[in-house]
Amino acid sequence: MEWLGHAKIGFTHAPSPRPVKQKDGQETDLLKICEQATPPCQLNPLLFNGHLQTMWTATKPHGPSVYYRRKLFEAENEAYAGTFAVDFVVDPHEEEDSSLPPRTAYFTDKQWDNIGSDDSRPMLLVLHGLSGGSHEIYLRECIKPLIDQGGWDICILNARGCGKAKLTSGVLYNARATWDVRQVVSWAHRTFPNRPLFALGFSLGANKLANYCGEEGANCLLKAAVICCNPFNLDVSFMKLKTSFIGREVYLRVMGMSMTKLIETHKTELSKYSDLDLDDIQSAKYLHEFDRKIQCPSWGYPSVSAYYRDASSVDAISAIRIPFLAIQATDDPIAVKEAIPFEEFEQNPNTILLTTSLGGHLCWFENGGTRWYPRPVTNFLNHMAFQVDLESVKPDEEPRTWANAGRKTVYEPMRRKLRMVGQS
């Protein structure tokens, strides 16, 4: 039936998923919540594989209108100096700023001074994909139902240099750049002490969010997180893409062009703040060439494969201690099936992997142009925020270790190769 657009849905999970207590006193578990949140997946039968689904985005539908106000944050950690932009969803306004994306304006000083609150509304932090921003259609499609329903506060963390934000240092973002995520979550926890915090990540932002949750472990301040179309194992995804003509000449080329265009936008700032060979970078045609020319020298990786292996979030799944839902299409031509860590999801009771046999990359187009994935995302977030006793979903404090029988060696999933000088 897949050729008629009826996608198969699967759930990968631990034998005993994490138990969850609801506000009405009923006991359930994370798997049951995810199953109840997931509607049938019936997509446009004319877009019958991942390539057609993914390429349909080239039609550039307008998408829903979402209005933002922007605040520039100064990095608190000196090792990652610079500023980054966070866009907050606000009521519609008529202010226009040509230096910002559509429907976006800066906070006034007075508005920002009064942003703190002791209310208990749930708050959602969203991370976009490669070279994107708060203006992306796939992002707006997903958060619009939460906006229309009311009851949520939402903000989008723009990666450095994205969303028309200026660079103010030579520190760029990469596939495992979790430092700005950590700062915004901590800021929100202080500024809105009674708000339960949730997070949502797309594609490269999904990879960063998974890494953040794994790095934080039992100290994670989020109540739950959702990711969509995570490439997980970046080296495997890259190898898969470069071995096919369409993977190399369409996807790797288009993603590379988007990044070189981003660098061109910030050429003046990069000339001032970095020693990068910008003329050489502009000659990059493919994403891996861009990463070799900019990510490797920026961070000290000896090869692009070393960067991809270190930035991957496959191991992070083992370290996550909060309710965590990953949504993937197994025909995704970018976040490929071969890179999904099925075994890790089978071992961690805090995580659920939801797969569909159709959908492409951040698409899942239905008849009429609507998209399927906003429904399981919003259903899950609404259930966790409004029906679950959040005291029952505190980060799992039970230590999870992997050791040999004599305990002479221990596997630490989040022990990264890239570290600050002086760290053990």
- The encoded tokens of residue 394 equal 């505190």
How does DSSP classify residue 139?
H
C-alpha distances out from residue 272 to 167, 204, 275, 288, Å: 10, 27, 8, 25
Of 203, 237, 312, 318, which one is the catalytic site residue? 203
- Alpha-carbon gap, residue 388 to 107, rounded angstroms: 33
Of 135, 288, 361, 383, which one is the catalytic site residue? 361
Band (421; pLDDT cuts 50, 70, 90): low
Q: Is pLDDT larger for residue 404 or for residue 7?
A: 7
Quick one: pLDDT at residue 128? 98
Report the relative pairing of strands 83-90 and 324-329 from DSSP bridges: unpaired
- Tens of pLDDT, residues 62-120: 899 999 999 999 999 988 999 999 999 999 999 989 999 999 999 999 999 999 999 99
Of 87, 153, 332, 396, which one is the catalytic site residue? 332
Least Cα distance to 329 among 128, 140, 59, 48 occurs for 48
pLDDT surpassing 80 at residue 373: yes
pLDDT surpassing 90 at residue 424: no
Contacts of 30 (CB under 8 A, 6+ apart): 13, 17, 18, 20, 323, 349, 350, 352
Q: In sequence order, what are the beta bridge partners of 327?
A: 228, 354
- Alpha-carbon gap, residue 182 to 178, rounded angstroms: 6
In this structure, the number of other CB atoms found within 10 A of the CB of residue 371 comes to: 20
Quick one: pLDDT at residue 403? 60
- Tens of pLDDT, residues 108-152: 999 999 999 999 999 999 999 998 999 999 999 999 999 999 999
Quick one: pLDDT at residue 416? 80
361 catalytic, yes or no?
A: yes
Quick one: pLDDT at residue 396? 76
Read off the amino acid at residue 420: M
153 catalytic, yes or no?
A: no
131 catalytic, yes or no?
A: no
Q: Is pLDDT larger for residue 79 or for residue 347?
A: 347
Domains of the chain, first to last: 2-233+314-397 (3.40.50.1820), 234-311 (no CATH)
Record the pTM. 0.95
Read off the amino acid at residue 36: Q
Whether the Cβ atoms of residue 292 and residue 304 lie closer than 8 Å to each other: yes
